[in-house]
Amino acid sequence: AQSVTQPDIHITVSEGASLELRCNYSYGATPYLFWYVQSPGQGLQLLLKYFSGDTLVQGIKGFEAEFKRSQSSFNLRKPSVHWSDAAEYFCAVAARAGTALIFGKGTTLSVSS
């Protein structure tokens, strides 16, 4: 069965510092991979997605993620964090088009000044 692990429940980063949020998935083939962000009391917004091709994916708000098949990982990065990036981040995976998303349990990002 597919699964998604986000090892870090909570991360605190200083404003202006770089960020990396980890995501590991369990699936036999190349899945569809997503990162979503959720601000407090809000819905989910898609940051970026990976289906195939270039393993480094650019998203909105300056985020990027790299798919590493050998490590079954899809880590999210940002070179310089802004206070407005404080939110909860979810990694998600789907086996193929038209199937449901399986979400990780999320990582809460706090940004310190």
Partner 1 sequence: NAGVTQTPKFQVLKTGQSMTLQCAQDMNHEYMSWYRQDPGMGLRLIHYSVGAGITDQGEVPNGYNVSRSTTEDFPLRLLSAAPSQTSVYFCASSGGTASYNEQFFGPGTRLTVL
Would you say 25 or 106 has its CB closer to partner 1? 106
Phi, psi of 83 (to 5 degrees): -55, -30
Binding positions for partner 1, rule: CB under 8 A: 9, 32, 34, 36, 42-46, 49, 51, 90, 92, 94, 97-106
Would you say 39 or 80 has its CB closer to partner 1? 39
Which SS3 state, helix, strand or coil, does residue 19 take? Answer: strand
Question: Which of 9, 6, 5 has the alpha carbon at shortest distance from 109?
Answer: 9
Structure-token pair, residue 41: 């009391």
Would you say 28 or 43 has its CB closer to partner 1? 43
